[in-house]
Chain A
Amino acid sequence: GESVGLHLPTLSVQEGDNSIINCAYSNSASDYFIWYKQESGKGPQFIIDIRSNMDKRQGQRVTVLLNKTVKHLSLQIAATQPGDSAVYFCAEIDQTGANNLFFGTGTRLTVIP
């Protein structure tokens, strides 16, 4: 099956610094990628997505970068705030195939005030 993995299970950053969360995937057929944020007691919440025909997409304080050559995805959070503390999951899907959404293990981001 497909594998979506994260390089680091935990990440601690100082408030105001930028955060970078990385993700590797193995299915070269995946054409749609999503980053989710999960806070304690809540379900995964959509942050930002990117299609495989793009290599960068920006949102409010977040940027997703996609490197299809090395099958790598990253989420950059600018000026990290305490409210950003959560577990972040990347997910991939091959929308043209019969697959469903596949998630990575998750990275716990802790923002130090």
Chain B
Amino acid sequence: EAGVTQFPSHSVIEKGQTVTLRCDPISGHDNLYWYRRVMGKEIKFLLHFVKESKQDESGMPNNRFLAERTGGTYSTLKVQPAELEDSGVYFCASSQIRHFGYTFGSGTRLTVV
């Protein structure tokens, strides 16, 4: 079984630019979650999709972040325009059952300079 796949693994962009992160969950997993770890701090929840619907986006920092999951398969997280404080590692996870059995991807390390 393929795991959760994230692209790119690393991204370095300038402040003000746009970056789009992608997550391919495990096939059949309706639940998809985005998390972020800012350097040295805890891993924080961003949002949760059930299929194509946003179940909970209470963790999204501001309106510069836009997450989509068209068709209920892969998801994208766009940051526009990127700011320095957006730097961190963005993790995606998926699960078959809500809030149980999470499988995480390897993450995308985003550096905004």
- Cα distance, A93 to B95, chains bound together (Å): 14
- Cα distance, A74 to B80, chains bound together (Å): 40
Interface membership of A111, Cβ < 8 A: no
Interface membership of A33, Cβ < 8 A: no
- Cα distance, A63 to B35, chains bound together (Å): 26
Interface membership of B104, Cβ < 8 A: yes
**Is the beta-carbon distance between B99 and A44 smaller than 8 angstroms?**
no
- Cα distance, A100 to B104, chains bound together (Å): 14
**Is the beta-carbon distance between B102 and A4 smaller than 8 angstroms?**
no
Which chain A residue has the least Cβ–Cβ distance from B98?
Answer: A95
Interface membership of A18, Cβ < 8 A: no
**Residue from B41, B56, B91 within 8 A of A100 (CB atoms):** B56
Which chain A residue has the least Cβ–Cβ distance from B56?
Answer: A100
**Is the beta-carbon distance between A100 and B45 smaller than 8 angstroms?**
yes
**Residue from B40, B91, B106 within 8 A of A105 (CB atoms):** B40
**Is the beta-carbon distance between B104 and A45 smaller than 8 angstroms?**
yes
**Is the beta-carbon distance between B33 and A100 smaller than 8 angstroms?**
yes
Query: Which residues on the A side are within 8 Å of B43 (C-beta)?
Result: 44, 89, 91, 103, 106
Query: Which residues on the B side are within 8 Å of A11 (C-beta)?
Result: none
21 contacting pairs across A/B (C-beta < 8 A): A32-B99, A34-B102, A36-B104, A43-B91, A43-B93, A43-B104, A43-B105, A43-B106, A43-B107, A44-B43, A44-B91, A46-B102, A46-B103, A89-B42, A93-B99, A100-B45, A102-B45, A103-B42, A104-B42, A105-B42, A106-B43
